[in-house]
Amino acid sequence: MKKLIAIIALMPAVVFADIDAGLKMRIRSYSVSNPDYSSETSDPRSYFAQRTRFYLSGILKKDIMANMTIQNKTIWGRSDEADFFLETGFISVGKIANLPVTIEIGRQNFRLNEGILIDDDNIGLDGIKISAELPLSINGQAAGFKLIESSTKNFTGNSDTDVYVLSIEREVLKGKLFLNYFCENDKSAGKRKNIMDFRYESSLIKDTKWMAEVAKIGGSKFDAMGYILRINAEGEISRLGKGGGFLLFASGSGDNPDTPTDENFKTATSHIKEYGGFGEYYIAHREDGRSNTLENLQITGFGFHSKPTRLPIKIFANYFTYTLPEAAGGADAIGKELDAGAKYDYTENIKFRLVFSNFSPDEATKENSSSASQILLEAKLAF
């Protein structure tokens, strides 16, 4: 009922606006073999999943905009997996007092930089965000959000948890330097987590870029570090047309005394979201408790993508290794993953993706385990 009231309350604001409306749908078919890593092959799983987003945005008057997005997520044939909610519903007011300041109030999407530190994952967060152009060519952001029930799938804590963000960005030595502060305050549990994050991105040579990020996590009952280094290159690949590649290293480790230590590993919460493009299998199917964080998890990977000159598709292949940087008992290798696939853009509004993934678990995952594989077929529609 609360969701319906929120939607109705926003309707008058957009009815008389200059409206932009649209619908985006993503349909995925999964076929997974040996999902339990059993040495005696377990029963395969096959299912369809769908995400649909309907959005409205409108200019109410000069420098004032309204936005509303409704989202539905479901696994076909399972009513207990259906999720229908208001993703965004906010007002944006720009040029406050003729200053280069914009304020957004309400439920909104929020992604800091590339989403490595914080990303709402298209779920939405309730609160306020202020963006401003500051002196000395500095761009700044300040935000405060109350975590909603569905967003706790992506953040630690519960509905009585607040998050605060301060971020500044400036061009330095022909690159961009980001200084970010993140605070998560779980009032019901009396826990507070603070993150200081330093990120720099720049070009090495033409069409080659690198990014380095270091995050220090502290607060009551938390002490951890996170590191990310990524290099991307684009250009011509011999006989494969235009393409590119990447190298990636990401690691999060530390202490969380509230999480018990078992014989295989010690868990630590680094709260650094994995960069998009990680493994299609392990990142989606790994055990509960690691969702969307580098939580005592280290990832190394590399890959390439290409657009062959005479083919209408894009091809790609990625390879990742996963380890536990603070494992106890020497069981630090989680496993290895190989992803390969193709993308086909039928039009700008209709796109397809086919991915084959193979994950080979190691000693930290299960004893006497066998590899698992997955075939993912995805269709994206936008109108």
pLDDT, tens digit, 9 for 90 and up, residues 113-156: 666 567 777 888 899 999 999 999 999 999 999 876 544 444 44
Helices and strands (DSSP H and E) totals, the chain: 2, 18
pLDDT of 307 above 50:
yes
**Could you tell me the two tokens for 139?**
């761009």
Q: How many distinct structural domains can be found in the chain?
A: 1
Nearest CA-CA partner of 107 in 155, 71, 79, 68: 68
Q: Are residues 225 and 252 in contact, defined by beta-carbon separation less than 8 angstroms? A: yes
89 domain-assigned: no
108 domain-assigned: no
335 domain-assigned: yes
Q: Are residues 116 and 228 in contact, defined by beta-carbon separation less than 8 angstroms? A: yes
Q: Are residues 203 and 211 in contact, defined by beta-carbon separation less than 8 angstroms? A: no
CA distances in angstroms from 204 to 173, 174, 175, listed in the order given: 12, 10, 10
Cite the DSSP H helix spans in the chain: 2-15, 282-285
Nearest CA-CA partner of 356 in 27, 30, 40: 30
Secondary structure of 57-82 in HEC code, one letter for each residue: EEEEECCEEEEEEEEEEEECCEEEEE
When pLDDT is cut at 50, 70 and 90, the band that residue 170 belongs to is very high
Which burial class, exposed, middle or buried, applies to 277 when counting CB atoms under 10 A from its CB (0-12, 13-18, 19+)? Answer: middle
Residue range 201-217: mean pLDDT, rounded: 85
82 domain-assigned: no
Range(s) of the domain holding residue 226:
221-383
pLDDT of 273 above 50:
no
What pLDDT is stored for residue 175 in this prediction?
Answer: 92
pTM of the model: 0.77
For the chain, report the end-to-end CA distance as a whole number of angstroms.
28
Residue range 243-262: mean pLDDT, rounded: 68
What pLDDT is stored for residue 177 in this prediction?
Answer: 95
57 domain-assigned: no
When pLDDT is cut at 50, 70 and 90, the band that residue 347 belongs to is very high
When pLDDT is cut at 50, 70 and 90, the band that residue 308 belongs to is confident
Segment 19-32, tens digit of pLDDT: 889 999 999 999 99
Which burial class, exposed, middle or buried, applies to 68 when counting CB atoms under 10 A from its CB (0-12, 13-18, 19+)? Answer: buried
pLDDT of 199 above 70:
yes
35 domain-assigned: no
273 domain-assigned: yes
52 domain-assigned: no
What pLDDT is stored for residue 228 in this prediction?
Answer: 84
